[in-house]
Amino acid sequence: MHKIIDNNFVKSLVDKLRHTGTEPAEFYRITTIISQILAYEALRNAEFSRASIPIWTGNSYEATIIDQRKLVILPILRAGIGMLDGVRHLLPAAQVQVLGMYRNEDTLKPIWYYNKLPESMHTLHAILIDPMLATGGSLCDAVRELKRRDSYQITVLSIVASPEGIKKLEAEAPEINIFVAALDEKLNENGYIIPGLGDAGDRIFNT
C-alpha cells in the first residue's frame, strides 16, 4: 500500500523545499515538519492497547496507549537523519537504528557502509525514513535487511517519490506501507527525481 498525502498545506511545504532559494536551515526545519506529518499519517491506525489511568475527576479512565517499545525508527544515512528529529518528537520512546548506504552515482546501486541491526527484529515494527525514494534501490535493500530479520511490520516514510521507485519497492515488498508527501513525475537519466528537490542530503546538511 502506498499513500500520498493529499493536502495543500503539505504540498506548500514540499514546494518550499523545491525552491532553490530555500536555505539549508529552513530546508531542515520544513523537512522536520513534513516528517512529523508523515509519522502522524503512518501511526493513524497503529496498534494500541488500553490501560486504566487516573484522571482529574478521581475516577479511572480507559486510555489509548501506543506501545512505542515495539517501534524502531531507521534513518538511511545520510539524508534520512534530516527526518529523525521530527519522527522522534512524536515517538521519543521508540528505538533508533541507523543504516549507512550511499548511491553509486554511476551504477545507481546502493553501497552499504554501516549495518549493525540486531539478528532478530521479530518483535519490532520498523519505520524506515529517507526523504528521497528515487530508483528505490536504497529502500529495497533496507527492506530486504528488515525482512531477513523478521520485522513484523515495515513502514516507509519519504518526502518525495518517483513512480518508478514506488513500483520497484511495492514489487519487492507488497506487504509494506509507504507514506510519501509528494509523488513526482519521473526520474531523469541520472536517477534524480523530476521535479524533485535536488540532492536532499546536500541541502539538509549544507554541503
How many C-beta atoms surround the C-beta of residue 33 within 10 A? 14
Piece of 21-29, 111-119, 166-174, 192-200 that binds ligand URA (CB under 6 A): 192-200
Question: For the window 142-181, what string marks contact with ligand URA as x by the rule CB under 6 A?
Answer: ----------------------------------------
All three cell numbers of 148: 531477513
* Minimum distance, C-beta of residue 45 to ligand PRP, in the bound complex (Å): 26
Site for ligand PRP contains 143 (CB under 6 A): no
* Minimum distance, C-beta of residue 34 to ligand PRP, in the bound complex (Å): 14
**Phi/psi of residue 65, nearest 5 degrees:** -130, 125
Piece of 28-36, 44-52, 85-93, 195-203 that binds ligand URA (CB under 6 A): 195-203
Q: Cell 507514506 appears where?
A: 179
3-state DSSP call for residue 179?
strand
Piece of 84-92, 149-157, 166-174, 196-204 that binds ligand URA (CB under 6 A): 196-204
Site for ligand PRP contains 79 (CB under 6 A): yes
Could you tell me the sign of the dihedral formed by the alpha carbons of 24, 28, 29, 34, in that order? Answer: positive
Residue pair 178/1 in contact (Cβ under 8 Å)? The answer is yes
The radius of gyration of the chain's CA atoms, rounded to the nearest angstrom, is 18
Helix 81-90 to helix 24-43 angle (10° resolution) is 50
Beta strand 60-65 with 49-54 is: antiparallel
Q: Which does 196 bind (CB under 5 to 8 A by kind): ligand PRP, ligand URA, none?
A: ligand URA
Residues that bind ligand PRP (CB under 6 A): 76-79, 102-103, 108, 110, 130-138, 165, 191, 200-201
Residues that bind ligand URA (CB under 6 A): 79, 132, 134, 191-193, 196, 199-201
